[in-house]
Amino acid sequence: MLLHVPEVLSKEQVAGMRRVMDGAEWTDGRQTVGPQGARVKRNLQLPEASPVRRELGEMVLAALRVHPLYHSAVLPLRTLPPRFNRYEGGGEYGFHIDGAVMGAGDDTHIRSDVSVTLFLAEPEEYDGGELIVSDTYGEHEVKLPAGDAIVYPSSSLHRVTPVTRGARVASFFWVQSMVRDDGMRRLLLEMDTAIRKLSADGADQGSILQLTGVYHNLLRRWAET
């Protein structure tokens, strides 16, 4: 499921984060991938041990904790600390698939079910830099406003196209969902969306209650904790 999650961060929050990032030290992004990824990756990242990365990552996670669409779509169980990258001067990341098990640099590991990219630069600030996600329906090109996020299955083949002008800045991270199967998560999101709309439209409360019960019983059947 490829899903646009709008307005995770406000424009003011993005501007504040960018000011901090502009004064931070960046390192070669190939330090955080294996040999295969290093052959196709050309970008910069905030160092893993950077206090700036930790501070900004907490801001991202705090915003996501209160975003209803994100929770409904992802059903997060465990989330790795967000990382931050920067593409410029032809920087790109060729086609790759994220690792099935991801670590945080300590003893923390998660199964990567969902990949998240949170855009921190406006589309007009740079040329290129599209996130291309390939699935059974073809290739999907993603370039979102600053503060918006895209979520997609970590099993997807994906790449970032070369940035030929300006700088593409983003946060990215991985999530282990309570429901590992993408198709099941999609069904639950569709049902939750329908329940919310029926409630807003003033539908029969008995029917809404029954449908809500079905949602939670499916989640109870499918969830892993």
Domain 182-222 = CATH 1.10.1060.10: no
Q: Over 70: is that where the pLDDT of 39 sits?
A: yes
Mean pLDDT of the chain: 95
> Which CATH code is given to the segment(s) 3-177?
2.60.120.620
Q: Give the model's pLDDT for residue 105.
A: 66
User: Contact 119/170 with Cβ under 8 angstroms?
Assistant: yes
pLDDT at 193: 97
Q: Who's near 220: CB < 8 A, 6+ residues apart?
A: none
Look at residue 143 and tell me whether its pLDDT is greater than 90. yes
d(CA 45, CA 32): 9
The pLDDT tens digits of the residues spanning 200-209 come to 999 999 999 9
pLDDT tens digits, residue range 40-61?
A: 999 999 999 999 999 999 999 9
Give per-residue pLDDT as tens, 163-174.
999 999 999 999
Q: What is the C-alpha to C-alpha distance for residues 199 and 209, in angstroms, rounded to an integer?
A: 10
The answer to which of 44-58, 103-117, 206-220 has the lowest mean pLDDT is 103-117
Q: Tell which wins on pLDDT, 15 or 35.
A: 15
If you average pLDDT over residues 123-151, what whole number do you get? Answer: 96
Give the percent of the chain with pLDDT over 70: 99
d(CA 21, CA 18): 5
* DSSP label of 81: P
The domain limits of the chain are 3-177, 182-222
Cα separation of 128 and 119, whole Å?
A: 14
Q: Which residues contact 24 (CB under 8 A, 6 or more apart)?
A: 46, 50, 52
- The more confidently predicted of residues 136 and 115 is 115
- For CA atoms 47, 63, 120, 183, the dihedral sign is positive
Side chain identity, residue 219 = L
Reported as a single tens digit per residue, the pLDDT across 17-27 is 999 999 999 99
